[in-house]
């Protein structure tokens, strides 16, 4: 008989995320071991506990989820986890701090179902954050030209340099966007717009779609009022507004939730998987809306 499915949840935040715990339970995990306030120095003992308790054939019934609101801290935990594995002694790992990989993947999967990404240009508002920069990275891999918008040129430029290095091409350019006029100017050359600003940040007011009728797709991941793109409802899920296909935060969030659960389920198929942005996106492409 298969051993029970145990998910080890490493989270730099104290208390750890209730959201990630609930999604894990809803994904059918039998036991969740949550380590809140987890530091890289805690990792070796936790991973050894995972590796040395079950025989090699049962290692696939234990997996690790790395979350937390601090994406850089999660990257350190991930590094330490990988460094602790040796030979066949490993378990599968999903990395999704602050939901950034699942959210960005869901947004780009949905966009790709409506617009030919390789022939398009996209403006990413809030493009310097974890979600926005991952949307950009995925778009870059699909051949989309990207404008990374920020309130400050330096932040946009640094993000573009990091993305060029991650994707291996100069697919993005920085754009300073700090008011409606500068955003509409940047949007002039783009068929897609993604709003990935901090919660409650409105980038464009209601009515902007009338001034940018050439935009084929608008996606907003901010669910906290006011939304990032005025006039787009959080529940929009491919809703046509004029010539523009619109997705709001809940419209994207519905696929994000399915994707998060599917990634967790897939962890238990083998003991050697590392699910990060590209792998999560690939799983997202297999899901229906
Ligand atoms: N729908 C879902 O399922 C889901 C899941 C996870 C997250 N989210 C949402 O996704 C969004 C992005 O998350 P994140 O963690 O990447 O966001 P974040 O790091 O908090 O913010 C993203 C960017 O927003 C810009 N920003 C911050 N305050 C601003 C302000 N007052 N005015 C204008 N721009 C501002 C900053 O860019 P600059 O400083 O460079 O201008 C920042 O880099 C959030 O709204 C979050 O709630 C949604």
What CATH number did the domain enclosing 125 receive? 3.40.50.720
Stated pTM of the model: 0.97
Strand order in the sheet with 237-241: 172-176, 145-150, 121-125, 192-195, 217-220, 244-247, 237-241
Domain boundary among 43, 74, 95: 95
pLDDT at 1: 80
How far apart are alpha carbons 170 and 157 in whole angstroms? 12
Q: Are residues 136 and 115 in the same domain?
A: yes
Asked if 25 and 113 sit in the same domain, the reply is: no
Residue 45 shares a structural domain with residue 174? no
- Same domain for 79 and 110: no
Average pLDDT for the chain: 97
Q: Are residues 91 and 105 in the same domain?
A: no
Question: Residue with the nearest Cα to atom 17 of ligand 1?
Answer: 198
SS3 of 27, please? coil
Give the chain's domain count: 2
Q: Which of 162, 158, 136 is nearest to 147 (CA)?
A: 136
Question: Are residues 65 and 190 part of one domain?
Answer: no
10 CB-near residues (< 8 Å, 6+ apart): 35, 38, 43, 46, 64, 65, 66, 67, 68, 77, 81
| Token pair listed for 49 | 């506990």
Answer yes or no: is pLDDT of 239 > 90. Answer: yes
Q: Whose CA is nearest to atom 19 of ligand 1?
A: 129
Per-residue confidence (pLDDT) for residue 73, from 0 to 100: 97
Q: Within this chain, do residues 107 and 239 fall inside the same structural domain, yes or no?
A: yes
158 within domain boundaries: yes
pLDDT range class, residue 110, cuts 50, 70, 90: very high
- Reply yes or no on whether the pLDDT at 229 is more than 90: yes
pLDDT of residue 171: 98
Residue 62 lies in a domain: yes
In a mutational test of the pocket of ligand 1, which residue from 106, 129, 247 has the highest number of ligand atoms less than 8 Å from its CB?
A: 129
Task: Give the residues across from 125 on adjacent strands.
Answer: 195
CATH number of domain containing 48: 3.40.50.10280
Residues 213 and 107 grouped into a single domain: yes
For residues 108 and 230, membership in a common domain is answered with yes
Question: pLDDT tens digits for 126-153?
Answer: 999 999 999 999 999 999 999 999 999 9
Q: How far apart are CA 76 and CA 39, in angstroms?
A: 9
Indicate if ligand 1 lies below 6 Å from the C-beta of 249: yes
Q: 97 CB under 6 A from ligand 1? A: no
Domain range for residue 29? 6-95
Average pLDDT over residues 60-88: 97
How many Å lie between the centroid of ligand 1 and the Cα of residue 129?
Answer: 6
What's the pLDDT score for residue 160? 98
The verdict on 120 and 80 lying in the same domain is no
């Amino acid at each position: 008989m298969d051993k029970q499915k145990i998910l080890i949840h490493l989270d730099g935040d104290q208390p750890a995320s209730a959201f990630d715990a609930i999604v894990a339970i809803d994904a059918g995990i039998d036991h969740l071991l949550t380590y809140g306030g987890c530091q890289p120095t805690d990792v070796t003992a936790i991973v050894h506990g995972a590796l040395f308790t079950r025989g090699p054939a049962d290692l696939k019934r234990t997996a690790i989820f790395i979350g937390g609101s601090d994406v850089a801290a999660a990257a350190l935990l991930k590094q330490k986890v990988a460094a602790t594995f040796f030979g066949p002694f490993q378990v599968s790992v999903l990395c999704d701090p602050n939901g950034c990989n699942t959210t960005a993947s869901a947004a780009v999967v949905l966009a790709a179902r409506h617009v030919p990404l390789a022939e398009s240009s996209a403006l990413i508002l809030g493009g310097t954050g974890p979600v926005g920069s991952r949307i950009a990275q995925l778009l870059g891999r699909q051949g989309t030209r990207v404008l990374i918008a920020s309130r400050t040129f330096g932040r946009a430029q640094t993000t573009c340099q990091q993305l060029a290095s991650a994707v291996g091409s100069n697919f993005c350019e920085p754009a300073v966007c700090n008011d409606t006029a500068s955003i509409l100017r940047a949007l002039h050359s783009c068929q897609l717009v993604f709003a990935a600003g901090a919660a409650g940040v409105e980038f464009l007011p209601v009515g902007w779609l009338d001034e940018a009728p050439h935009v084929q797709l608008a996606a907003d991941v901010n669910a906290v009022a006011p939304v990032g793109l005025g006039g787009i409802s959080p529940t929009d899920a491919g809703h046509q507004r004029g010539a523009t296909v619109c997705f709001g935060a809940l419209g994207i969030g519905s696929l994000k939730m399915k994707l998060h659960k599917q990634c967790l389920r897939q962890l238990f198929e083998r003991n050697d998987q590392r699910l990060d942005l590209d792998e999560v996106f690939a799983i997202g492409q297999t899901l229906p809306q």
